[in-house]
A = this chain, B = another copy of it.
Amino acid sequence: MKIKTILHKTVPIASAIRNAYIDFSRMDVSVVSVVSDIVRNGKPLIGYGFNSNGRYAQEGIIKTRLIPRLLESRESDLLTDDGRNFDPTKAWQIMMRNEKPGGHGERSVAVGVLDMAIWDLVAKIEDRPLYAVLADRFNAGLANRDVYVYAAGGYYYPGKDIEQLKAEMLSYLDLGYDTLKIKIGGASLSEDLERIKTVLKLVTNGQALAVDANGRFDLPLALEYAKALDDFNLKWYEEPGDPLDYDLNTMVCQASQTPIATGENLFSMQDARNLIRYGGMLKDRDYLQFDPALSYGLTEYLRTMEVLAKFGWSRKRCIPHGGHQFALQIAAGLGLGGNESYPHVFQPFGGFADNNPVENGKVRIPDAPGIGIELKKELLKVFPE
């Protein structure tokens, strides 16, 4: 059993939107096909991987460092001890050979893309959905196929006004979502408050709305927003300041009545652990949004789960960034609190399987082998064969 070849492609997911920090007009992602020598139904078994939006394609690292290391390894180095499947941890260690510690960004995305493909392949070899494999291995067999998802949107489009924001939010409610998220920090506080009040008129209460500053604020502004948000009983206040400014985060956590959510820009177990150690996050209130596709994959995410357990955090506090099927499978298999979703944007990567409706804010994972990328027709098309 071996990897025959690994194909990589850079794919645009450009769109005319922006958050408080960047615009996405030139955003792209890496997609890989890890082709095994196993043949099923006359076709080679292939694992698919991609990265989520926001941190660009990683063609350089994937092609010059990671793929050569995987393809040059001995066949048995990538397999479980009994030789019956690939071993994602061994593959991970081979990818990270001759890589120095620290500096977790970009490389974490590159490894995440390939790690996703390897887990997809592992589950396909077992002929089971990934969530079921994960539940058996890491969650005492307990899976939760009905995953809570929230609709992340409310970006700043050029020329977008309040009426358009309202229409966008209504479309998410129509799709079956019951929690919405909008961007803040890309406009003035008073404009943002108007956006918030507009959306709150569409839902039953503040718990149906989260807001996301994308790390834009300095401490005074983060605290000013925290105070202003206190009135609304919102679901959460996301990434008030720089993701590595744990002192700022601690002060906002202390000042805010609204739960704090952060972590999408921390890309390793070590960085996640620093947030837990120094970031002032409250384990009975706040949310952790580490994105396995951007953070050295599921293999590293499992290490992060171990750290969380050691610090007394429940996995239920984790709602990953990224809105992809990979994190959806992980949420179901490991018993996370839910998953992000981008109903209209970042296509074909946003959203889940085709004809897989959201009902009462939850999505039921269909029972296909692997991650289920084959169930999303437009997504499957982007992978190189």
Q: Is the CB of A103 within 8 A of B102?
A: no
Secondary structure of the A side of the interface?
Answer: loop
28 A-B residue pairs with CB within 8 Å = A21-B101, A23-B98, A24-B98, A25-B98, A56-B61, A57-B64, A60-B64, A100-B214, A100-B215, A101-B242, A101-B244, A101-B265, A102-B244, A103-B108, A103-B267, A105-B105, A105-B106, A105-B108, A106-B107, A242-B270, A244-B268, A244-B270, A244-B273, A244-B274, A245-B270, A245-B273, A246-B274, A274-B274
Contact count band on A: 35 or more
| Among A100, A103, A294: residue with most chain B CB under 10 A | A103
Instruction: A266 to B105: give the CA distance in the assembly, Å.
Output: 12
- Mask: chain A, 42-70; 1 = CB below 8 Å from B; 0 = not: 00000000000011111111001100000
Q: How far is the CB of A234 from chain B (nearest CB, A)?
A: 22
Q: How far is the CB of A117 from chain B (nearest CB, A)?
A: 19
| Among A106, A246, A273: residue with most chain B CB under 10 A | A106
Given contacts A101-B215, A102-B242, A247-B277, 12 further A-B contacts (CB under 8 A): A21-B101, A22-B98, A26-B98, A27-B98, A55-B103, A60-B64, A61-B106, A102-B215, A104-B244, A105-B106, A244-B273, A245-B270
Number of copies: 2
Measured between beta carbons, the chain B residues less than 8 angstroms from A101 are: 21, 215, 242-244, 265
A residues sitting closer than 8 Å to B (CB atoms) are 21-27, 54-61, 64-65, 97-108, 214-215, 242-247, 265-268, 270-271, 273-274, 277-278, 294
